[in-house]
Amino acid sequence: MSFDLNARLAARRADNLYRQRPLLESPQGPQVVVDGQPLLAFCNNDYLGLANHPQVIEAWQAGASRWGVGGGASHLVIGHSAPHHELEEALAEFTGRPRALLFSNGYMANLGAVTALAGQGDTVLEDRLNHASLLDAGLLSGARFNRYLHNDVLSLAARLEKANGNTLVVTDGVFSMDGDLADLPALTRQARAKGAWLMVDDAHGFGPLGANGGGIVEHFGLGVDDVPVLVGTLGKAFGTSGAFVAGSEELIESLIQFARPYIYTTSQPPALACATLKSLELLRTEHWRREHLNQLIGQFRRGAEQIGLQLMESFTPIQPIMIGDSGRAIRLSQMLRKRGLMVTAIRPPTVPAGSARLRVTLSAAHTQAQVQLLLNALDDCWRKLEPDHA
Question: Which residues are known binding-site members for pyridoxal 5'-phosphate?
Answer: 106-107, 176, 204, 233
Angstrom CA distances, 272 to 103, 229, 234, 239, 360, stand at 12, 24, 10, 11, 28
User: What whole-number distance in Å separates Cα of residue 113 and Cα of residue 286?
Assistant: 31
User: What whole-number distance in Å separates Cα of residue 362 and Cα of residue 375?
Assistant: 13
133 is catalytic: no
75 is catalytic: no
Nearest to 204 by CA among 102, 134, 125, 128: 134
User: What whole-number distance in Å separates Cα of residue 343 and Cα of residue 364?
Assistant: 17
* Binding site, annotated residues for substrate: 19, 131, 350
Half-sphere exposure of 388 (CA within 13 A, CB side): 14
* Binding site, annotated residues: 19, 106-107, 131, 176, 204, 233, 350
Nearest to 211 by CA among 280, 278, 283, 275: 283
Sheet harboring 144-148: ordered strands across?
99-103, 243-247, 229-233, 197-201, 167-172, 123-127, 144-148
Q: How far apart are the first and last CA of the chain?
A: 37
| Residues contacting residue 189 through CB under 8 Å, at least 6 positions apart | none
In terms of residues, how long is the chain?
Answer: 390
384 is catalytic: no
Contact (Cβ atoms closer than 8 angstroms) between residue 186 and residue 155 = no
- The catalytically annotated residue of 75, 219, 236, 366 is 236
| Residues contacting residue 7 through CB under 8 Å, at least 6 positions apart | none
- The catalytically annotated residue of 81, 176, 241, 355 is 176
- The catalytically annotated residue of 75, 204, 219, 292 is 204
Active site residues: 176, 204, 236
